[in-house]
Amino acid sequence: MRKMKWDQGLATTIQDFLNGCPITKFPTHFGQNGYTKLPMLSNISDAEALDAAKSWEIELFYFDRDGLGI
């Protein structure tokens, strides 16, 4: 797992990921092994993506083109 700073690059990564995935899997808020399902977000802005990342307290990991963690 690779941790990233909260910056423009991270916001863009989250924006691209959320725009491309109908079902998004992130580690749960409590850091358990389970996942939470989120609806697809369309046209999310960089600022919104950054705010979402902070509020979800997620740790990004590598995603393949289908949006699945690898």
Give the pLDDT band of residue 5 (cuts 50, 70, 90).
very low
Q: What is the dihedral of CA 65, 53, 13, 18, to 10 degrees?
A: 40
CA–CA dist 33, 12 (Å, integer): 25
Q: Could you say which DSSP state residue 7 is in? A: S
Do 28 and 35 touch, CB atoms closer than 8 A? Answer: yes
Residue 65: predicted pLDDT: 47
Q: Could you say which DSSP state residue 23 is in? A: S
Give the pLDDT band of residue 24 (cuts 50, 70, 90).
very low
3-state SS, residue 26: strand
pTM above 0.85, yes or no: no
Q: What is the mean pLDDT of residues 17-33?
A: 47
Q: What is the mean pLDDT of residues 35-63?
A: 54
Give the pLDDT band of residue 14 (cuts 50, 70, 90).
low
